[in-house]
Structure 1
Amino acid sequence: MTKSSPVPITVLGLGAMGRALANAFLIGGHPTAVWNRTPGRHAELVAAGATSAATVDEAVAAGGLIVACLLDHGSVHDVLDPVAGDLAGRTVVNLTSTAPSDARELAAWAECHGIEYLDGGIMSIPAMIGRPESFLLYSGSKEVFDENRAVLELLGSAEYFGADAGMASLYDFALLAAMYTMFAGFSHGAAMVRTEGVPATEFAKHAVQWLSAMVQVLPLSGEAIEAGAEADGQSLDFTKAALDAIVRASREAGVGLDVVGPLKALVDRQVADGHGAKAFDAVFEGVRAPGSE
């Protein structure tokens, strides 16, 4: 059997993440062309074997798979609209962070121009790309995903979420919401103990131990939400009392309530609506979209 030639790849956008993607493709042995709106970010990649394109037209003419990692949804159109005709019959994998509706709009745009389209969400920081802990989410064309899976897995593990191009970004943003909320909670706790001179680095040691243990119960929380969040342990009434005390302690320490204040308001509302006997997971009902199943 003859070994197939490496797939040429063009990376559009050389921010920290774009450079990491291009580097992973180069390490994987793929001829890689790179382009960036602002010059000067390609030197290390060129030294590693990449080809620098002076214009988007030149980058697209390099052939192969087009991977876009740009600033936002508008940037994708700004870059790709002028070369849409040249992309007909080609494949675009969009790894730009875009809202689900934007991903669906880009998929429709691509279909109108005869472009094969796959949308992706990167659940990694640049330093993790190509490492075992890196994983990326994809949705859109199943054919594109299957045909290019080996290339995509150079970046990290690849999971496909179906033909709806918006599903990968929906999962991406939902996971980021959980992450950012956790980090914000850590910052609130660090601010509380700092009032007594405790460094954030010291607090982090205890936070890692505590949060690592709590993360293990997330599957149980998922089950509780689907079962109606009936209490099997601590109730929302208990949580309300705890949050009341946390808010009081925060105020006494002079720490802002930007993080815990909205959570307390959510719990207070659920208790006032008669859900105090349910588990903490009942806050799901307070934030989910009306009518969603």
Structure 2
Amino acid sequence: MPAHIEQPAPHHGTAATTATPTVTVLGLGPMGRALAGAFLDAGLRTTVWNRTPGRDEELIARGALSAGSAEEAVTASALTVVCVVNYDASDAVLRSPAVTDALKGRTVVNLTADTPGRARDTAAWAAEHGIDYLDGAIMTPTPVIGTPDGVFIYSGPEALYQAHRPVLDALNGAHTHLGEEIGRAATYDIALLDLFWTAIAGYTHALALARAEGVTARELTPFAQGIAAILPPLFEEGAEETDSGRHSGEGNPLTSGVSSMAHIVEVSESHGIDASVMRSAEGVARRAIGLGHGADGFTRLAEVLGRR
């Protein structure tokens, strides 16, 4: 570990003013290491810190500066990027008195995944302590960080986002500012993860069901990919229907859908396979039918689920 980290000139306001771009990365799990590596590859002066020692050795060999403490790390740069397991972990670091004091007049971009409520709470804390704050999320896996395929989303003050674009753009990939309401990035993240994990759960359940009937995963998967290919146009159609309040069931009304869902439940349970996820979906569909929406399309369920 270097004996000394040269400190940059004090930074105030939202613009990055140092001649050589600098950045600090807190959290060196797989994603944090990928972020720090991308910054190094782009030629940025990168300071790193992790609660558990020893995860920075490869980064140091590539030119990163290792801080002896989180306070030392955030003092080294005008911009600190945080990527840890959740906001409990980020709060434990950022809200310690020494770190909070060191962050005053600097900027935090929190790429930690958590809920919109936690993002709003952290933004309120940051404002109270004179810390500029952007919330964000990473929508792609670790291997593509630093490549054109990376996808990053942010929310918070537009001027702050634009001020730090030169550093954030060093991560390569697509960067999108979703608006000033601080919880929007986390909302997108949660909604898209909902879609992802529900889809993956459906795929693994389909594999179990097919296997029970003597069909291998390799045999089924090309057809599963065909199912995935028809989804994008359905998403476009569903977005128009949901936003307009029109939920056309022409061609595939809910009454037809619940019949196929019931078949999935029946076959699954005949093999002792847990069908609770499909039972839940079928139950919501039948509730919508009971409310008089049997002729509507499946997007009607978004409205039914949102009722209180």
Range of TM-score over shorter length? over 0.9
Structure 2 gaps of 5+ residues are 1-17
Give the corresponding residue for 1:51.
65
Structure 1 gaps of 5+ residues are none
SS in 2 for 1:280: coil
CA distance in 2 between counterparts of 1:200 and 1:49 reads 45
Give the corresponding residue for 1:64.
78
Native 8 Å contact 1:12 1:66 kept in 2: yes
The answer to whether the aligner puts 1:202 opposite 2:219 as a matched pair is: yes
Give the corresponding residue for 2:123.
107
TM-score, normalised to structure 1's length?
0.93
> Of 100, 115, 139, which residue of structure 2 is paired with 1:84?
100
Native 8 Å contact 1:7 1:65 kept in 2: no
The answer to whether the aligner puts 1:226 opposite 2:243 as a matched pair is: yes
Residues 187-237 of structure 1: per-residue CA shift (max 9 Å, x gap): 110001111343324322221122122223210011122232132221000
Native 8 Å contact 1:17 1:69 kept in 2: yes
Q: Shift in Å at residue 246 of structure 1?
A: 1.5
The answer to whether the aligner puts 1:266 opposite 2:280 as a matched pair is: no
Amino acid at match of 1:211: A
Amino acid at match of 1:283: L
CA distance in 2 between counterparts of 1:45 and 1:197 reads 48
TM-score, normalised to structure 2's length?
0.89
- CA pair 86-234 structure 1, distance change in 2 beyond 3 A: same
Amino acid at match of 2:254: L
Give the corresponding residue for 1:247.
265
Q: Shift in Å at residue 252 of structure 1?
A: 2.0
CA distance in 1 between counterparts of 2:275 and 2:267 reads 11
Give the corresponding residue for 2:9.
none
Q: How many percent of aligned residue pairs carry the same amino acid?
A: 39
Which ranges of 4 or more aligned residues in structure 1 deviate by more than 6 Å?
none
> Of 297, 301, 307, which residue of structure 2 is paired with 1:279?
297
Amino acid at match of 2:253: S
The answer to whether the aligner puts 1:25 opposite 2:39 as a matched pair is: yes
Amino acid at match of 1:20: A
Count of matched residue pairs: 287
RMSD in angstroms over aligned alpha carbons? 1.5
CA distance in 1 between counterparts of 2:216 and 2:62 reads 41
CA distance in 2 between counterparts of 1:133 and 1:38 reads 30
CA distance in 2 between counterparts of 1:133 and 1:248 reads 41
Native 8 Å contact 2:75 2:103 kept in 1: no
Q: Which moved more, 1:89-98 or 1:4-13?
A: 4-13
Native 8 Å contact 1:100 1:170 kept in 2: yes
SS in 1 for 2:95: helix
SS in 2 for 1:70: coil
